[in-house]
Amino acid sequence: MKNTDLYSDAHLVVAAIRILEHRNSASPSIGNICEFLSFSLEQGNYICRKLDETGVIEIVEGAFGTRIFLRDHLALEEIPKNIKTSSIDEELKKFQDSRKELVQKVASIKAEQDEKQKNLFAKLEDQLKKHLEKK
């Protein structure tokens, strides 16, 4: 059974939170929820972030890791039923593009620094040669 809309996946995540809280007597992490529902971590993070934005859950980062708490389960009904979770692919592509841009920026900065270092060594070498010629 594949759920491809955010509404259905959100209901599954909220149910998993309740079951895991009951079973473990503690709030679950995103990893626990993903393992329980057989979701990938990326998909679980995406859904949890969306639910956090809509006020359904609260993501709390603490000393013992990130935990998920239910805030307002009735807000689930405000989620449009036609939003496909396949937009994860679009989000992933945006992330990969931003990472590529960052890598290119780092590479250009590194090339600039290498060029500056090369010029500095060339100047030092010229100064050393001039100093040795004077003696």
Whether the CB-CB separation of 56 and 10 falls below 8 Å is answered with yes
What span, in angstroms and rounded, lies between the C-alpha atoms of 33 and 43? 11
Collapsing DSSP to helix, strand or coil, 125 comes out as: helix
| pTM (2 d.p.) | 0.59
Looking at domain 6-85, its CATH class is mainly alpha
pLDDT at position 92 is 77
* Identity at 87, one-letter amino acid code: S
What span, in angstroms and rounded, lies between the C-alpha atoms of 3 and 107? 41
pLDDT at position 1 is 43
How many Cβ atoms sit within 10 Å of the Cβ of residue 103? Answer: 10
What span, in angstroms and rounded, lies between the C-alpha atoms of 85 and 60? 23
Domain ranges of the chain: 6-85, 97-135
Whether the CB-CB separation of 72 and 55 falls below 8 Å is answered with yes
Over residues 16-52, the pLDDT tens digits come to: 999 999 999 999 999 999 999 998 888 899 889 989 9
Over residues 51-92, the pLDDT tens digits come to: 999 899 999 988 888 899 999 888 888 887 876 655 666 777
- The residue ranges of DSSP E strands in 20-121, in sequence order, are 57-62, 65-70
Cβ within 8 Å of residue 20, ≥6 positions away:
27, 28, 32, 33, 36
**Regarding predicted confidence, which is higher, 50 or 3?**
50
pLDDT at position 83 is 66
pLDDT at position 87 is 62
